[in-house]
Chains A and B, each alone.
Chain A
Amino acid sequence: MGIAVIGGGVAGISAALDLADSGYKVYLIEKNAELGGKMAELAECKTGLSPRIVKIQNHPNIELMLSSELEGLSGSAGNFKLKVSGGKEIEVESVVLAPGYDIPDSVATSYGYGSPDVVTSLEFERMLRAATISNELKRQSDGKPVKKIGFIKCVGSRCQDNEICSTACCAYTAKEVWVVKERFPDIDVYVFYMDVRVFGKDEELVADLKDNYGVHYIRSRVPEVLPEGDKLIVKYEDLRAGKIEKLELDMVVLAVGLLPARTLPRLAELTGVKTDEYGYIETSISSPMETSVRGIFACGTATAPMKVRESVGLASGAALKAALMSQRTERIPGQEERKYIEVKEDEPPKVGVFICDNEGEISKTIDIPALAERVKGLRDVVAVNSANTIEEALKALESGIVDQGLNRVVFAGCSPREYEDIIREGCAKAGLNPYLVELVNLREQCAWVFDKNVTDAAFDILRMAVERAKRLEPIIVERYPVVPRALVIGGGISGMNAALDIADAGYEVYLVEKGEELGGGLRDMGDIAFPGGESASKLLKHYVDRVTSHERIKVYTKAREEDVRGRAGMFKARIVGDGVDEEIEFGACVIATGAKEYVPEGYYGYGSDNKVCTLREFEKSGKVQGDTVVIIQDVGPGLKEGAYSSKASNIEAVNAALKIKEENPGVEVFVLYREVKTYGKWEVLYKRAREKGVLFLRYEKPPEYKNGIISVFDVIFNDEIQIKPDMVILSVPMVPAEDNKRLSMMFKIPLKRGFFMEEQERPKMVLTPVDTVNEGVFVCGSAVYPAMIDECIAMSSAAAGRACVLLAKDFMETPAIRAVVNDEVCVGCGVCVQICPVEAIELTEEQLPVVTFGVETLVGGERRIAKVGDGCIGCGSCASYCPSGAMSLQHFRDKQVYAQLDYA
């Protein structure tokens, strides 16, 4: 049997790959003729997504069902029968639903939609893609260059038809604005918004756009757009001046909201899963991937509007949950023994050159037939092939090796960054050592960068590559067994959830908590509950009980990990604590150190005035003092002072305000805020709080608190308001765990503002939300940024899921590209030892004899030689220093690089 994944957008793709990579049979059902979903329509994102699509197309464990829809589902968890269009029937043990989202069918006429210069954000993505190639952003109406452009947020969300916040629009608008300003710095950009709901890196991006890119962010209710002649007039309410203003623009982009996929109602009907009042698949805060039907899981925008990053996280989590109900039946690719054709050192090179056009992207500027003809004339080149797609090129490559006996390969196409594995794997399958391949980036490094004589440049690059390829040496990599155990650092909600998921998947877990007991931040939240969720205290008890009674989880409290060594699949460390000093081995690690509330010493009399407390302190006690409660948002350091605004604090504050009002209707509750960041379905909290009579006052200048009176200048009433509070609750940022710094050094994962960074900045980061630069080490929860409980649970399941993909393997391979020492030449200066970022090099010493008389001494000195250890990551820092070339990098030997240079 296997697992059905319904929906081939980014969430479905990610879930399918995680499952297939850990040995499960996957049926991927997509209603369109192509994979990629909405993400493939985004300007920047297709490039990032397409490697995953290629991987799926070539994956032995995935049965891809394109242009297919679910037509029926029967049975129950462990044995579902699915009817798929075209009369196909499949049997699976579990199902992952990832139908994605749609945007509204129609946009209100007041936005001027219908004018060719008013476009939706999705339409704008396509224009942006074209503009980055042509280097011009033109109006669709008259082809004139755009000089002034406006972005209007919250179109079709936070409104009557769709009362929740679509979450993604603030960030994707910021990204679009950034692309516009980067590409076309002279274009004036205006952004009309109600609240800017961005977090973490996006918060920095928005600050950067305002401060350094000169983007005008204008707070206003959603404006009207009036086409007048060839201009667009935007009519908006200037909230500060309390006036209606007009602005003339060339183009307007409507940041449209997200709605549940149109296919979702039918899908819900067929599968029986419940949907919520907004039409999304119903899940809960504590089980964000689980639907109302056992064995059926949901991820991505099927459950709520969200960004790509969160979608991918949920997908990994849903994959893990689905896997728990299924049997592993398939082999994991790359785990089989390989036999390669022997290539002797003195054997004449027979080079095959494969040029992949990437569906026309390269032939736009390069004459591929002419290029192929010239390459044929190069010495030792015996075959040249050009193909349209990477799949065709791969087939040609495999048959070239088998049929023509090629012993070196040059593969030219788009960026090899993501395709490298696929191409090397293709060679290996055909029997050629995968390091006898040279990869050439004809797209980014040639087709896209040269203005003229592009084909000549392409020929030069290929000639260089051929010379390098001729000198490549086969590399035999070593395999080592994967230790089927995991280390989870941090015993808060994220750490406990990750530990449980990994343990449920059948692996042993060491759970290390530095505090005295499990629970982390949950312990400070008392009985607080969120709509549709259990109270913090109940959740805490539930998790602690499950963790402590799980036979595969070993809990260490008041302990910490030290002396981490090794690499993905085989790490070693010591757990040191109260009477414990234990050496452990583990294959994967999840870092879930959490965050803690900033102590607002000195703010609003905190610490000396007993009316003043922090949000968590209030949550813990649950006690309301007096008749007037003021909650002040965004107290303490902000972005400029090095802190991120906290998703959790902002929403918790609104939740607290609502709770106080509901339980004490007589109490006046004020929320003083800069932005209300109740993104997604949390918007309901904001709405309900206002309905119940909580007063929201927006400030720009922080309120003052003197002689028991709070004065705040409210920018909406345009007046100073004074409140005499009986209780002041401060909502402060969450700051990173102190231990992060130590862990960052130990695991070699960079920190940003004290939080752990995911693997890459955009665009890759969104696709690997819990992976880090150190393979085998995953991060989640508030260790990455201050997150809400549901996010902590979802992301920790994702981290657990990613860890399990690794733990499912029997073997891992040592890196092929690593440093090697020529002992004869090494003079033992030890600079490489100091340079090595992973401490993988040491100096060995041996005594040299004297060759003279032995009067004073019998030794001629110490001979020191560098030795490269297992930890080498192949970065090449050592080789680039070593003046005599004693240290070199396999696959990047001097002779290989020089050959390439000599033909430049």
Chain B
Amino acid sequence: MKGAELAIGDLGGFLRSLLEKEVVDCLIVPHRVGNNVAYMLVTDPNKIGSGEEIFIPSFSVNAGGLLKGWTIKSKVGLVAKPCEIRAAIELVKLNQIDKESALLISVDCPGTFENQVYADHKDEIGDWIDSAKIEELKGKGLEIREACKICSNMLADVGDIAIARQDGGDKVVVAALTPMGESALNALELSLEDKDIERKDAKAKIAEAAKNNEASLPKFGSIEALEEFLRDCIVCKNCRDVCPVCYCKECFFDQPLGDPVSGDLLNLGAIRGAVGLPANQLFYHLTRVYHVSATCVGCGACADACPKDIPLTRYYPVITKKVQEMFEYVPGKDVEEPIPFTTYEEEELEDRLR
């Protein structure tokens, strides 16, 4: 692939020039806000920061979901972590984002902290963490999010452009992954050369660690155990609202059948003798995991959003990954790859049929 090496200090200039050279009409990038970092839609190049903030290990929302409904002609650039870019790509497949209007730029992610944890410990954590630093912080009781521990897609390799922080040093490689990415880099008048950001060995290591971490998570052996896990759920549906790949205009659980009130509720009670409230707690989560089973990018936004601190990472990403493995599907990896349920294979899942 074609790319260019930049000093980390030049990243701000790189991002600014995307706006200045009108490669995009606006840019959604992380931005320092007080002790923390948050996404901001920027049209004025002068509002772009130093550029280093794109690596800050803090997770607030999944920025892929911020592009839902971007079906206008004006072009947006999104600079975000791989799970966020992958979500955006799934939304492209689901017609919620027009691909030609979005330049997707993924950046290496070392793993993230919940944004409030980061804000509270900004100085200890810093702008960039590597595995040694993660261990060191762990010793201090500061752990990266569970979703990041079981993530095996942390290195930038999706979207139109990847920004790789090879070796965690002060150099980054900006590489084009698609023709749109390459023409963007060309427009910036960077001198491009062949770059390899594949990093197979590093990826294998990450995948291995992710697998081990996932294996150590508690499992649900039965529907009763799942009910117990979800016991405290108040069906606030925050997990749905923050989910980047939950894309309905009107959720089934906001419609009368999914959200029975008043007379409908009484009728349900009359049929069953007793009905748990809020109604449809288990049904809601079962339905949702089914709906996102192919497209869940495992970002863990659902777990962060849960006001009852239910560790939903152990449910959504863990279960959906199993479905995805059955279909050898990695959501967001390739915009051209169809979502499994849209295709029909005469022979598939043969071993499941027996």
* Chain A residues near B (Cβ < 8 Å): 824-831, 834-835, 837, 843, 856-857, 859-862, 864, 881, 883-886, 894-895, 898, 902-903
Contacts and interface: CB of A to CB of B under 8 A. Distances in A.
The 9 closest A-B pairs by CB, nearest first: A884-B248, A861-B71, A834-B342, A827-B249, A862-B71, A829-B94, A883-B291, A830-B95, A825-B250
B252 A883 contact: yes
B326 interface: no
Contacts of A895: 257
Contact of B249 (A825, A835, A898, A902): A825
A828 B68 CA distance: 12
Interface string B99-130: 00000000000000000000000000000000
A827 B25 CA distance: 25
B268 interface: yes
Interface string B329-343: 000000000110111
Given A862-B98, A885-B257, 17 more contacts: A825-B249, A825-B255, A826-B249, A828-B95, A829-B94, A830-B94, A830-B95, A831-B339, A831-B342, A834-B343, A856-B43, A860-B72, A861-B71, A862-B71, A881-B341, A883-B248, A895-B257
A748 to B, nearest CB: 13
Contacts of B70: 861
B75 to A, nearest CB: 11
Given A856-B25, A859-B72, A884-B249, A898 B257 contact: yes
Given A828-B95, A834-B338, A885-B252, A857 B74 contact: yes
Contacts of A824: 250
A825 B258 CA distance: 14
9 contacts: A825-B250, A829-B96, A829-B247, A834-B338, A834-B342, A857-B73, A859-B72, A883-B252, A902-B271
Given A857-B74, A861-B72, A862-B71, A827 B271 contact: no
A830 B341 CA distance: 12
A4 B73 CA distance: 72
Contacts of A881: 341
B128 to A, nearest CB: 34
Contacts of A828: 95
Contacts of A831: 94, 339, 341-342
B168 interface: no
Contacts of B74: 856-857
Interface in B136-184: none
A435 B245 CA distance: 37
Nearest to A897: B257
B124 to A, nearest CB: 41
Nearest to B338: A834
A837 B94 CA distance: 18
B217 interface: no
B69 interface: yes
Contacts of A835: 341-342
Interface string B313-349: 0000000000000000000000000110111100000
Interface in B47-84: 69-74
B65 to A, nearest CB: 14
A376 to B, nearest CB: 20
Contacts of B69: 860-861
A257 to B, nearest CB: 40
B251 interface: yes
Given A885-B252, A903-B271, A857 B247 contact: no
Interface string B21-47: 000011000000000000000010000
Contact of B252 (A827, A864, A884): A884
A835 B95 CA distance: 14
A167 B95 CA distance: 58
With most chain B CB atoms within 10 A of its CB, the pick from A830, A861, A881, A894 is: A861
A827 B338 contact: no
A555 B272 CA distance: 67
A468 to B, nearest CB: 13
A826 B96 CA distance: 12
Contacts of A857: 72-74
Given A861-B69, A884-B252, A885-B252, A829 B25 contact: no
Contacts of A827: 96, 247-249
Nearest to B251: A884
A293 B252 CA distance: 69
A824 B257 CA distance: 16
With most chain A CB atoms within 10 A of its CB, the pick from B71, B339, B341, B343 is: B71
Nearest to A831: B342
Nearest to B26: A856
A847 to B, nearest CB: 9
Contacts of B247: 827, 829
A834 B94 CA distance: 11
B241 to A, nearest CB: 14
A830 B247 CA distance: 12
Interface in B233-280: 247-252, 255, 257, 268, 271-272
Contacts of A826: 249
Contacts of B344: 837
A104 to B, nearest CB: 46
A857 B76 CA distance: 13
A638 to B, nearest CB: 22
A877 to B, nearest CB: 10
A837 B248 CA distance: 23
B257 A902 contact: no
A831 B341 CA distance: 9
